[in-house]
Structure 1
Amino acid sequence: MMRNVAILIAASLALMSCARVADVGKRPDFSETAGTYEHRAMSVIPLPETLTTERPTETASLWSKDRQSLLGDRRAGQMGDIMTVVIEINDKAEISNSTARSRSSGEDMAVSNLMGLDTRFSKKFLEGASLDPAVDLSSSSSSEGDGSVKRKEKLTLRVAATVVEVLQNGVLKIQGSQEVRVNFELRELLVTGYVRPEDITRQNEITYDKIAGARISYGGRGQITDVQQPRYGQQVADIILPF
């Protein structure tokens, strides 16, 4: 049984190694945009429920509510619209706990001279035995604990997101991605979540703290990321070995 497991693990490692060898000397490829959720949202143009004919005088006014007018609302609000997500995370947390406890107790009882009782005790048992002290007890206990947590995170990014769905209550579901390739390293940023139309600023921007169910991922793949990760054999050994 163990032999079959070892053969299976060796074969899996060999296949993964062959797959990585095929990527030697190649730059990481970009993700396909065609067919993604954002691409479908921007490609599908919903038909209007009613057809209305606008008069020329309605489009000529500067106070028109149309998006192309001078004072029109250009904020994202429909499926396929684009907005800017501003990510400025500067969090710092520091927790420190310390506890200490100490206790000591002692009991001492002596019978040095009580109607010759100490002399009789000495003669009956051992020469030189004494009842001073007759009972001597002492105890002590102590415990000490110390713990601390300290972390600091800072991230400043801006990414364009697409409205992929409009819920029945008017909340917008957004999804955005961004990929930047420098030499042999590809950095990717993913943002998803739900926003209220009234939280979008006049600049068509929204901050990350106003996104419900926000999922923000910033990472990458390439030669630098590959070097920072442990080898497949080491990862398998960390899972199998119990020590």
Structure 2
Amino acid sequence: MNGTATVHAPPPATSAPVADALAVLGRHLQRIKAAPGVMILTQTMPITMLLFFGYVFGSALAVPGREYRAFLVPGLLAATAANGLMVGMFQSSQDCHRGVMDRFRTLPMSRAAVPFGQTAADLLTTAVGMVPLILVGLAVGWRIEGGPLAVLGGFALLLLFRFAMAWLGCWLGLLIRNEEIAGQLGSATFVLPLLSSAYIPTGNLPGWLRTVAEWNPISAMASAARDLFGGAAPEAGAAWPVAHPVAGTLAWSAVLLAVFVPLAVRSCARGAK
């Protein structure tokens, strides 16, 4: 004994990252089952907004060439996909705040498995959670008019966008590391769909605000959903992501994944400084 403190290196990662990610995914599904409040809130909010906006404001909002509720439902699907930001941020910050991430770092597991498992679980629950909104949308008059391939492409694009936004939220949560602050910031993300074409057409907005709204990734996703599900043409004179909504959504999703997947994995492996 020489009185010098011994520094223990973290255990090496296992060689089965897929199995590790599946284990983390199962943990998140059990977590949702044990405390379903956040999922219930995030999945019922779009239905509430559909009924509120569709019937309270629907008669006052004119959408050229279509009924407002038919315009609104794809926008709410896009807003639901974007909500991966809030959910991912809250879940990862909660795990940091309660010491779960520190516990994961002591285990011989792949560091990438933690964010991959979290975002994969979110993707599965979102796929199930969109079903009630679609059914209510059909009940209030929305119709899916696109062909089978277009409809499948629309749902795949929604899930891809949700997956990308969940990675952004995961990284932000690992950065914040405090569930109370994450909850407050998550509430503030409610404004993001309002600054997009999810709820209203952007054509009549002031020039600078229209530019902000059309370069909001949610606008590209909302326009892509309207195009693929109903064959709606993009607004005249729109910015590139809205004028080419499918390509715009793919581009936004690719950028988000390329930036925030490595950042989230690195943050998860590095821990607190």
Q: TM-score range by the shorter chain?
A: under 0.3
By percentage of residues, which structure has more strand? 1
Question: Would you tell me which structure has more helix in proportion to its own residues?
Answer: 2
Q: TM-score, normalised by structure 1?
A: 0.26
Structure ID, larger Rg: 1
